[in-house]
Amino acid sequence: MSNFVKIAVDAMGGDNSPKKIIDGIIHNHKKNKDTFFKIFGEKEQIEKIIDKNIHRNFYEIIHTENFVLSSDSPLEAAKKGKNTSMWLAIESVKKKDTDIVISAGNTGALLVIAKLNLKMIENIDKPALSALWPNKNGMSVVLDLGANIECSSKNLFDFSIMGASLYTSLYPNEKPNIGLLNIGSEELKGNEIIKETFKILNNKESINYNFAGYIEGNQIMDGDINVIISDGFTGNIALKTAEGTANFIVKELKKTMTNSILGKISAALNYVNLNKFKKRLDPRLYNGAIFLGLDSPVVKSHGGTDFIGFSNSLDVCNKIVKGNLIEKIKKNI
């Protein structure tokens, strides 16, 4: 077990848990046999699903009767104490019993409980919420996506270091291009904090990334920029806009292709290409946001995803641990 990636799993967070979570673990285990799962949740429910599918050498269940609800405020979640599945899962990574923790539960509660248990990496003031976005050439890392409404230029510079470290952990053979999300590409555009961050990044050479200047919202999917930096307010709006647009396109295309006989014939003739298009916009492929800045990695799976999406976020966990993300951030910061 010493060579395994050890993942602490909060099995009680998100819709249709723990079934969705355990089904995701089972699905992931079929293609990946070097992961050990330490699962926190209602033992009897979990055993019914997992026992017939995975050998006990690959998992351990820690029974918890309490768990954080999606309706709980971060303060209410913290007040529930140290015996919730979320708290105990985070505590296990704090104690180094596991390498990384994942939950599909309440985002605000996860961040607060993580901050109560885990230290910040030295010289980093604020954690950032980061995620993968599809682009024309592959994937981009985008942060912050909502952990910090207001950010200083130092915060944004720290996000750049952490985002580049995350990208190289996931894609070890690539050197990322970093861009600052702004309302224009000219140096004079944007607020004072953005301009100050531009100067800092422009004046600091790094072997870990290339600074490419400003990027506008309509360029995010072009694929030229691999790490996109923003404050949490702007980043969250950009994320929700992109998600909504993708859902709108898929729904409208489906409606067009099924509303008439001609549409159905066209859909049948273009089935393979339409399927590729649908898969490219499937949010399950990009599931798994990461809290960066804490001295242990914390991953947030979307609460509404299915077991396929959760399995994909377990892949992200595996890559983060194998890519030595925390050590990269500490070294680069």
Instruction: Dump pLDDT digits (tens) for 37-72.
Output: 999 999 999 999 998 899 999 999 999 999 998 888
E-only strand ranges, the chain? 5-10, 35-41, 59-63, 100-103, 128-135, 138-143, 177-181, 210-215, 227-229, 289-292, 298-300
Q: How many residues does the chain have?
A: 333
Residues 6 or more apart in contact with residue 265 via CB below 8 angstroms: none
pTM for this entry: 0.86
> Which of 309, 264, 263, 259 is closest to 283 using CA atoms?
309
Rounded to 5°, angle at Cα 251 from 246 and 253: 95
Give the residues across from 229 on adjacent strands.
143, 180
The predicted-structure confidence for 179-217, as pLDDT tens digits, reads as follows: 999 988 777 778 899 999 999 999 988 888 999 999 998
Neighbour tally for 58: CB within 10 Å:
16
Q: Bridge partners of 313?
A: none
Q: Where are the domains of the chain?
A: 1-124+293-333
1-124+293-333, CATH topology level: Isopropylmalate Dehydrogenase (3.40.718)
pLDDT confidence bin for 146, thresholds 50/70/90: confident
Nearest to 93, CA basis, from 311, 315, 294: 294
CA atoms within 13 A on the CB side of 191: 9
